Amino acid sequence: MSIDIETAARVAKLARIRVEDDALPALAQEFSNILGFIEQLNEVDVDGVDPMVSVTPMRLKRREDGVTDGNQQAAVLSNAPDAREGFFAVPKVVE
């Protein structure tokens, strides 16, 4: 797939990236190279291949999912600019 200069300029605008006019042909070529690589990856036969999280077979470590209060209220509130009665105090924003 080939990307033209106008498409590269539009992508740059949508991404809010300023690209000078003289750099647009190189950007269009780079986009074309990326899409070409993706097309190559789409040609790979992956039927029967299980998805994996690592190249080495291993089981992820798990922990018990228990709900606690953390027992760190004082440590958390020590960073607050204003804390009252065990809560963060913020300015009133709705009248």
Give pLDDT tens digits along the chain (95 positions): 789 999 999 999 999 999 999 999 999 999 999 999 999 999 999 898 888 777 887 777 888 888 887 888 889 899 899 999 989 999 888 87
**Total Cβ atoms within 10 A of residue 8:** 21
| H-run or E-run covering 43 | none
pTM: 0.51
pLDDT of residue 50: 82
